[in-house]
Chains A and B, each alone.
Chain A
């Protein structure tokens, strides 16, 4: 009954006009960035983050969350029609979605992606409600060793599951920790790595870092391209899947929903891993595995469901433990900190309006997305045809205004440009920026809990191994780190990635 009362309270918050509007703007922006290749939810959230400073925290988080799960819906459109993923979690949808479009079945592909996303998103929210409260109660007993161990495990898993080189991902994580140390030491206020630059006394702000790494670098990567993608010229009809489509897809949607939710909880998991694993699972359990890569509807339904339910799963550790499991959550974490709110075990008790309002808004948002994504598909197709030379000035202006308006300092602008060039070069040299920003956001909590733990144990690392939860997390982190260098495991990981990606005809 408590749950129902809380949900009722949440809907009363979610249905406030300002929050409905914020939800609508968020899911619309999310669908737009999902549809448009070249900027993903991370870039969009980074760019729009400063515009949320004037909003109340509830509306701000509702809007930013809307961008996140909205992008999962929108990403499938470009994957199916252009064979280019609108965002990373829709990579796998290209394999069968585009083939379905080539066979004249773009409508059912888009339709099942939208309905599957809706069902999975709703299922994920139910999971969030059921898991968050018990986990928050357990987390009240966590101490500095547990927090340190979880963050270490999370950073290690993000590096391990990185798309590119694991070694490079770990290097970016280490660099993120170093960057988080710039400024005044948390314990004794010793200036660290500020090189006598006054503006660096408070450290590097997350906004110019994120906007540079994901917004400016994306502009630089796009302007050096010489070709533009072609949209498949096909009539989009029969958006509502028929009975046969539903019969073939329903179990894929259910499996994708469950798998995606639990993978979303894991640090480093999220929509990308969930969609890959869902595709592999569907291929394994299918009676016609040969059809995968040639237009199997389960190859669209499963991954699209998985990446949507993963977005709900990601909120579980973020809101209850205060540990963001992926980059988007790290940005949301930063957004909440800017509003003076710290997620953690006491979050639900201290900010019930934010927690339940967010959940209810996600229900509302999922419904809005179903409406936006089906009838408005011809509109999204037209938007896909907008040349990048028109879009990039808008992206650039958002970045400039966002970075400058933070503190009205040119320094933040310069920092953003520097990180933009750094992000561009990182991607050219195959270094993924995502582990860097996750480590940067978690760095202060990581350091505080590490030093606190060592002070409690008088310098002994056994404190991390005598407490069961901390011991399990640290051992898993060590295993993951060590296996990154063992050729047997790295080969299997590469084989799995290529096997999943190269299934096309």
Chain B
């Protein structure tokens, strides 16, 4: 777990450098008259400084003695996370085109397929019931505006 501190520390250091540069473009101003880049610059500075401390701590502890490190995803079903994340963005892409009913039905059927091993008709039926129930509660009863897409309702 601690090995990942080095990786994440370097990532945040890069982010902080980027934000500092962008903040300078925005004009940091002075202590007398702080500009729009004042807070982001100093916040990014602190972020970067702490990232350096994190990385250095890790290097020092590595030199003191070997630590047993384990993968963050050992024994986990990481592939499910990847597929689900991809499905989220695909859903966002098609939501306004297909509409809430169709897009959400597709998303839930896919997710049920990922999460549980059951017969296809069970997944489809569960997805239909869930989508219709949510549509009735939110669109019909609570009058929340949901994208219609190819449907007129």
| A residues at B contact (CB < 8 Å) | 51, 54, 165, 167-168, 170-171, 174-175, 177-178, 181, 185, 187-188, 190, 192-193, 216, 219-220, 223-226, 389, 392-394, 396-397, 400-401, 404-405, 408, 410, 413-414, 417, 420-421, 424, 428-431, 443, 446-447, 450-451, 454-455, 458-461, 485
Contacts and interface: CB of A to CB of B under 8 A. Distances in A.
Interface in B30-71: 30-34, 36-40, 43-44, 46-47, 50-51, 53-54, 57
Nearest to A403: B92
19 contacts: A171-B47, A178-B40, A178-B43, A190-B26, A192-B26, A223-B81, A223-B115, A224-B73, A225-B77, A392-B111, A393-B108, A397-B104, A417-B92, A430-B4, A431-B8, A446-B39, A450-B34, A451-B39, A455-B34
Contacts of A220: 81, 84-85
Nearest to A50: B144
Contact of A174 (B8, B34, B46, B134): B46
Contacts of A181: 39-40, 43
Contacts of A177: 39-40, 43
B8 A417 contact: no
Contact of A224 (B80, B92, B145): B80
B19 interface: yes
Interface in B1-22: 1, 4-5, 8, 12, 19, 22
Nearest to A420: B88
Contacts of A458: 32
A167 B54 contact: yes
Given A220-B81, A223-B81, A421-B85, A178 B19 contact: yes
B111 A393 contact: yes
A172 B138 CA distance: 34
A397 B130 contact: yes
Contact of B88 (A187, A417, A451): A417
Given A171-B47, A174-B46, A224-B78, A459 B53 contact: no
A171 B81 contact: no
Interface residues of B, number: 59
B4 to A, nearest CB: 5
Contacts of A428: 72-73
Contact of B130 (A165, A192, A393): A393
Contacts of B111: 392-393, 396
Contacts of B120: none
Contact of B36 (A51, A171, A187): A187
**Highest count of chain B CB atoms <10 Å: which of A397, A451, A459:** A397
A454 B34 contact: yes
A321 to B, nearest CB: 21
A223 B81 CA distance: 7
Nearest to B57: A167
A174 B43 contact: yes
Given A417-B89, A428-B72, 17 more contacts: A170-B50, A174-B44, A178-B40, A181-B39, A181-B40, A181-B43, A187-B36, A193-B40, A223-B80, A389-B112, A393-B111, A400-B91, A405-B145, A410-B96, A428-B73, A451-B39, A459-B30
A327 B37 CA distance: 26
B146 A404 contact: yes
Interface string B76-105: 111011001100110110011000000010
B114 interface: yes
Given A51-B142, A168-B54, A224 B81 contact: yes
